[in-house]
Amino acid sequence: MSPRRLRPWSSRPRFAAIRDAVRRTRRRRRHRLLKPLTPPAAGSGSKATETNGATCGQRECAPNMGQELGLEVLPEDIIHRIHSIMPVQDAARAACVSRRFVHSWRSYSSLILSDRTLGLDDTDFEERKTHLIDKVDKILKNHYGNGVKVKTLKLELGLCSDIKASYLDRWLRIIKSGIQEFSLVLPLVMNKIYNFPCSVLSDEAAASSIQSLSLFGCAFHPTSILGRLRRLKSLHLCHVHITEDGLGHLLSKSSALERLVIDACSGIICLKIPCTMQQLKFLAVKLCKMVRVVEIDAPQLGSFHYGGTPVIYVRNSSQLKNVDISPVCLSGILSYARFSLPSIAQNVESLTLRGRSENANTPMLPSKLPRLKNLEIALLKPHLSPNYDAFSLVSFLDASPALESFILRVEQDAMMHDPVVGDDTEYRRQNLECRNNSLRKVMITGFCSAKSLVELTVHILERTHSLERFTLDITYGYDRRTCNIAKFPTARMIGQCWSLSKRALEEAHRAVETADRYIKGRVPSSVQFEVLGPCPRCHIGK
């Protein structure tokens, strides 16, 4: 297929890489051509004659140099190398302006096909959808007919809700021996859900070469005919219907798998990661509403991200260092984590917990997280119980003697705000001897006038002698912006801040007053303390 012809001026900025490569080649060849000529034999002429001869020889080369060193005469392997490292859109444009690149395009091995890469993103929606199917069909038909070995194939077809299964089946024939990366993205809403054919990966040559597999918006039901995916390192299933048996077949053929992401998939109730997953280092299970139990027996697993019902069993957890648990709607995640994590993740060093609708205070338990260094807790909407005591989060600090960094995020309207009343003695818990001698950095975003939150802040300031920096962010997350607030304190003045309602802005002012009255005077002189109030540009006066 001849790629879509664009206006010549639109492709010029795209060829900087080609121009540089050609210039380097020209310099190398010019250096060889301009070397001094071999001196003549003794007695054949004067020194002036030798010099003139060399000069004349170089002048004779000069007129032909541009022609000899042009793009058209570059070796075939250099042309293919230049073309192979270009994005597909640039590769197609290059083929529009050079016959050499047209030939290379017909064997181009990295195909990322979408409306954007094919230059269709500025056309009418219906026209774009029709042209996308037509162009993808022609490109893959030509590549398949020419026997091209495609290494990367990414089909991003999110526009095509009415695409026929026969088209997809025909396109997938190009998955042969030599393919390394395959990705298929289909619309979430289709006239008929597409069943990804297991037969595509039943060929041993194709199955054994693939290293990355990603499926979005289809059904996939692997069986025992699946080939051995002996080089597969990354597997991502998103909005895919797959049964427990099907996933079991898939994992049994993927012993080299290092990264597994299962996102919003249906059909799985009990997720089992078997001990055959000897190389698995990263596992993420998110938004799988049917999953009730997760059983993990992967000895090299280092990171586990989970969003769902927290019933988790982990064996061989010696390498598990990073844990992120974010239930979709279940309450009590903080209590569950405090009970269960010490037994399943003794070596965890980084822990992120997002609690929603917590109805019980976090319990004080003797169990420890002895190696935990970084802790992040988020209290999310809907409202926590009116009786929820944020001070009970001290339980995590007490259980983590090696803790160095603590971030608490309170989502807007997640906590009930108490009025600022009484003297400063009201904001101190008595008879609590929990201390931490490693904690250096603390940040609370969404800080408000809730009494238990003020008590937690006071406790950390008075009981943490190693503290170096304490930040109270009144307006929900300056540190998540492009410029890190810890490094650039003026970052809050750059870009657009999070919006605040009139009521939230009033509460922000109360929180600033609370910090000034009850907290600021307790800050040790050795601690860098900062209160990030409403932004003068984005919030004040609106």
Sign (positive or negative) of CA dihedral 273, 279, 281, 285: negative
* Whole-number pLDDT of residue 337: 86
Q: What values do phi and psi take at 299, rounded to 5?
A: -65, -25
* Whole-number pLDDT of residue 20: 60
- Residues near 233 by Cβ (< 8 Å), separated by ≥ 6? 211, 212, 256, 257, 258, 259, 279
SS3 assignment, position 6: coil
The per-residue b/e assignment along 224-257, b for 16 or more CB within 10 angstroms, e otherwise, is: eebbebeebbbbbbbbbbbbeebbebbbbbbbeb
Quickly count: other Cβ atoms within 10 Å of residue 403's Cβ.
25
Question: Cα Rg for the chain, rounded, in angstroms?
Answer: 32
H or E stretch including 195? strand 195-196
Helix axes 76-84, 16-33, angle to 10 degrees: 150
pTM above 0.95, yes or no: no
The structural domains of the chain, with segments of one domain joined by +, span 8-35+50-102, 353-542
Sign (positive or negative) of CA dihedral 243, 244, 249, 254: positive
- Residues near 317 by Cβ (< 8 Å), separated by ≥ 6? 296, 301, 344, 345, 346, 347
Structure tokens given for 84: 């192979």
User: Measuring CA to CA, which residue among 255, 246, 247, 248 is closest to residue 228?
Assistant: 255
Q: Is 124 exposed, middle or buried (0-12, 13-18, 19+ CB in 10 A)?
A: exposed
Structure tokens given for 63: 């007129």
* Whole-number pLDDT of residue 21: 55
> CA-CA distance, 267 to 241, in Å (whole number)?
6
> CA-CA distance, 441 to 11, in Å (whole number)?
50
Nearest-5° Cα angle at 487, 483 to 492: 45
- Residues near 60 by Cβ (< 8 Å), separated by ≥ 6? none
Quickly count: other Cβ atoms within 10 Å of residue 365's Cβ.
13
H or E stretch including 235? strand 234-238
DSSP state of 144: H
> CA-CA distance, 460 to 467, in Å (whole number)?
9
> What DSSP letter does each residue of 436-491 carry, written as one string?
-SS--EEEEET--S-HHHHHHHHHHHHH-TT--EEEEETTS-GGGSSS-TTT-GGG
Structure tokens given for 82: 């230049």
Bond before 40 cis per omega within 30 degrees: no
What are the pLDDT tens digits along the chain (542 aa)? 444 444 433 444 444 555 565 565 556 545 544 444 444 444 444 433 333 433 444 444 444 433 443 556 667 667 667 766 676 667 767 766 666 666 666 667 888 888 888 878 777 888 888 889 998 998 888 888 777 788 999 999 988 888 999 999 999 988 888 899 999 999 998 889 999 999 999 988 889 999 999 999 999 999 989 999 999 999 999 999 999 999 999 999 999 999 999 999 999 999 999 999 999 999 999 989 889 899 999 999 999 999 877 788 998 888 999 999 987 666 678 888 888 888 888 899 999 998 876 767 788 888 899 999 999 999 887 656 667 788 889 999 999 999 999 999 988 777 776 665 555 555 555 555 566 789 999 999 989 888 889 999 999 998 898 999 999 998 776 665 534 444 444 444 445 666 777 787 888 888 899 899 889 989 999 999 999 888 776 666 54
- Residues near 237 by Cβ (< 8 Å), separated by ≥ 6? 214, 215, 220, 261, 262, 263, 265
